[in-house]
Structure 1
Amino acid sequence: MANSPSGDSVTERIVRILETFSADRTLQTVADIGRRSGLPSSTAHRQVEALVEAGLLERDDDARVRLGMRLWELALRGSAALRLRQAAMPFMERVQAAIREHTQLAVLEQDEALFLERLSSPDSGANITRIAGRLPLHASSSGLVLLAYGGVELQERVLTGPLARLAPETITDAAALRRTLADVRRRGFVVAPGSIEAVSTGVAVPIRDASGEVIAALSVVLPREAPTAAALEELQAAAAGIRSALAADRR
C-alpha cells in the first residue's frame, strides 16, 4: 500500500535507501542517503532511523551509516546463492590452485552478472571484479555465458542496447554480439580477450544444475597473452563437479 505523498510504499523506500550503498560507497551520511535515494530529508531520516533500530543499518562513531550485519545474516538464510557458492567452493579452489590467477563465480541478476565469489593469488594480474559486484552481460566472459544461455527476451533486451564500451575490445555491435552468443552455445565456453580490461583475457563456462539448466558461470581472468587451454580444461572439470555436487545436495 502506498502511504507517502510520492506514492512510494514503505518497502519501495527501504529498497531505494539500501540501493544507495555500493562496493565503493559503504559509508554515508543520512543526508547523502536522502539525496541519492531521492527521498525527502525528513523521510530519509525517519526511515534510516527505523532501519538502524532493526539492525539492517548501523552507525559508526561519526554517525555515518553502513549496511548492518543483520542484513547480511538474513540474506544468507536459505539463500540459493549460498548453496551454490558452498557447492562450488571446493572446485573453485582446485581451479585456483592450478591456474593461480583469478577464479570467479557469477549468476544472472537483473540483466547483469552478479559475482558471488572470487579467489585470487597475491601475484594475480589485473581484475576489476569484486564479490557482490556487477558487470554488464555483454562485456564480461561470465556475462557472455549467462546471456548466451538466458532466455530470448533477456537476449533481445540486451541486444537492443545501448552496449557500453568498457575496454577497446568490448563487443558493442548487436550483430557481432549475437554471433558471439551463438558461438558460446555451440562451443560451450567463451574466451574474451580485452573485453573488460585490455591487459586481461576472461575464460568462462556454464554451470548447470541437476536438470541441465544453466544457473551460473565459472570463469578465470588471465593475463592477456597467457595460454587458455589449461584454464579451460580446469573450468570444465570444475563445472562438471559442481553439477554433481548440486545433484547430490538435492537427494
Structure 2
Amino acid sequence: MAEGMLRRAMTLLAVFDEDDPALTAVQLSARSGLPLSTTHRVLAQLVAEGMVDRTADHRYTVGARLWEIGELSPIALRLRETALPHLVRLYEATGENVHLAVLDAPTPAAATALFAARITGRASVPTLGRMGGRHPLHTTGVGKALLATRDDPWLSAYLAVPLLPETTRSITDGEALRAEIDTARTRGYAVTHGEMTLGNVSVAAPLGTVTGLPPTALGIVAHADETIERRLAHMVVAAARELTQDLRGARSH
C-alpha cells in the first residue's frame, strides 16, 4: 500500500515542469493519468507533508519541504557549492553563460544532461538552459563532454535510440556523433555550433571522476564567431581540472 502511494505521489510530482509550475487538481489528474479522486487524496497527503503547496487560486506547486530535501543532494550540497567559485571566475573572465551539468542516466537510452548550476548576466547570449533543467546530450556542449566520458557499449546503447534535432545544425547521425566524441576525447573539450540554439557556440569539458558524484561537465555558451572556441577552450579545460582537484580534496578531508 505504501509503495503504491509513493508511486502515485511521484507520478503527480513528475507532471510539474518549468512551463507549468502551478497546476489544478484537474490538470494534474489529466496529465498523470490518475483518477481525480486519487489525485485529490494524494495531493492532500503531499500538502500535509509540505511537499506540495496549495495556492489561493486552488492550484498546486512544488513545496518548500521538497526543495529543502533536494538541497541535501550531493549535487547541490557538494558539487554545486564547490563549483560556484570556479563558475564565477569563468563568468567574470568572459561575461558569458556558464553551465554545470551532470549525467542523469537511468538507462543510456534515457540519458540527459541535468543542469546543476548556471551563471548568466544581462549581456550574455540568451540560452534555454536553467538550473534543474534537462537537455539532450547530443545537442549541448556539456552533453557532448559527458558523452566523451562513456565507454563504447554505453554509447552503442545510447545511439540505438534516434537522435532528434533541436535545430537545423543538430547532429542526428550516430557515426557523425561518434566522430565528434572521439575529437572531444582527443583535445579534452567538446564543442557545439548552433546545435541547440542557432547562432550560439558552446565549449565544454568533463570533470575527472569524483567518488560519490555523477559524471559532470562544465561549459560556456556564447555568440558564435571565428575565434571564440579557441579563446574559451583553455579556460574551460583549466576550470574543469581545478574543480576536479577541489572536489577530490574536499572528499578526502
Aligned-partner Cα distance in 1 for 2:86–2:104: 23
Aligned-partner Cα distance in 2 for 1:239–1:51: 39
CA contact (8 A) 2:188 2:237 kept: no
> Is 1:149 equivalent to 2:157 in the alignment?
no
Matched to 2:9, the amino acid is I
Tell me which residue corresponds to 2:19.
24
CA contact (8 A) 1:188 1:205 kept: yes
- 40, 43, 48: which is aligned to 2:35? 40
Tell me which residue corresponds to 1:233.
234
> Is 1:94 equivalent to 2:95 in the alignment?
no
TM-score (normalised: structure 1):
0.92
Tell me which residue corresponds to 1:104.
99
- Does the residue aligned with 2:172 lie in a helix, a strand or coil? coil
> Is 1:66 equivalent to 2:61 in the alignment?
yes
TM-score (normalised: structure 2):
0.91
Tell me which residue corresponds to 1:10.
5
Q: CA deviation at 1:134?
A: 0.5
Aligned-partner Cα distance in 2 for 1:219–1:86: 17
Tell me which residue corresponds to 1:245.
246
Aligned-partner Cα distance in 1 for 2:18–2:140: 18
Output aligned runs, 1:99-178, within 5 Å.
99-110=94-105, 111-178=111-178
- Does the residue aligned with 2:207 lie in a helix, a strand or coil? strand
Q: CA deviation at 1:214?
A: 7.6
CA contact (8 A) 1:57 1:65 kept: yes
CA contact (8 A) 2:138 2:163 kept: yes
CA contact (8 A) 1:91 1:238 kept: yes
Tell me which residue corresponds to 2:182.
182
Deviations 1:45-104 (A, max 9, x none): 100111011100001111100000100111122534431111111011000001101000
Identical pairs, percent: 33
Aligned-partner Cα distance in 1 for 2:2–2:54: 28
- Does the residue aligned with 1:236 lie in a helix, a strand or coil? helix
- Does the residue aligned with 2:22 lie in a helix, a strand or coil? coil
Matched to 2:238, the amino acid is A
Aligned-partner Cα distance in 1 for 2:11–2:153: 26
Q: CA deviation at 1:197?
A: 1.0
Aligned-partner Cα distance in 1 for 2:201–2:169: 11
Where has structure 1 moved over 6 Å in runs of 4 or more?
none
- Does the residue aligned with 1:203 lie in a helix, a strand or coil? strand
- Superposed CA RMSD in Å reads 1.8
Aligned-partner Cα distance in 2 for 1:160–1:168: 21
Q: CA deviation at 1:2?
A: 8.0
Which stretches in structure 2 are left out of the alignment for 5+ residues?
A: 106-110
Aligned-partner Cα distance in 2 for 1:24–1:151: 35
How many equivalent pairs are there?
Answer: 245
Aligned-partner Cα distance in 2 for 1:198–1:50: 45
Matched to 1:196, the amino acid is M
| C-alpha spacing 1:139/1:31, structure 2 compared with 1 (3 Å) | same
CA contact (8 A) 2:199 2:223 kept: yes
Matched to 1:244, the amino acid is Q
Aligned-partner Cα distance in 2 for 1:216–1:78: 15
Aligned-partner Cα distance in 1 for 2:190–2:115: 17
| C-alpha spacing 1:75/1:238, structure 2 compared with 1 (3 Å) | same
Tell me which residue corresponds to 2:108.
none
Matched to 1:93, the amino acid is V
